[in-house]
Structure 1
Amino acid sequence: MTGNEPEGLLRVLIVYERPAADKVICHARCVSVGRSVFPGDLVLPMDTPPDAGGPPARVLRIHRQPYGEFTELTPGWSAVVELEGADLSWVRPDANLRVVPPVTGTDQVQGD
């Protein structure tokens, strides 16, 4: 993601449950202008500095009755969003989350 691309944004409306220490199920609305949110996207709180190094959460699933599974959450739509991550204490009602680019290159160990 470059600085010229629209940013993916989610607003948490309701936290339904925390079925495990590393999972949260919430209802969220995509409040982006021009960018959907997709399963597999990584999210952090909106006010987290880009270089803070905190662990992001990964969007596992997006779904809504009676529509079923979503392959993307388009701007203006809301749905149940399942998140997974090491520390999800920041996922609460009214939290604004932004999509962050995946970690690449030097931060990952590469095999020979």
Structure 2
Amino acid sequence: TLEFEEVVEYTFLADFDHLRDMWKDILTCPWVSPTACLAINMYFKLCWAEEEVVCLNVEIRRVVTYLIDKDRYLQACEALYQDTNPMFAYQISRYHAIHS
């Protein structure tokens, strides 16, 4: 086994005989081919896309809830100020019409 002190003494990764031997073996592995790399990349992109769909479904619900809450809030504010401050209620209704 390698000790930490031994590892620190090496200045380049090329000094590790283990890595040099593994490099030759890696190049002969089937997953090193460009076709296999493309397939692996595509697989992980599909996995990520499925996760993204789940996250977006949650986010869509949040946005819809926000829009509904905002609509109800503006309607309530407009009704609240309709009798006491009709000019302000009108401004709220204009804002509501523009931003809804």
Query: Smaller-chain TM-score range?
Result: under 0.3
**TM-score, normalisation: structure 2:** 0.19
More strand by share: 1
Higher relative CO (Cα under 8 Å, sequence separation at least 6) belongs to 1
Which structure has the larger Rg over C-alpha atoms? 2
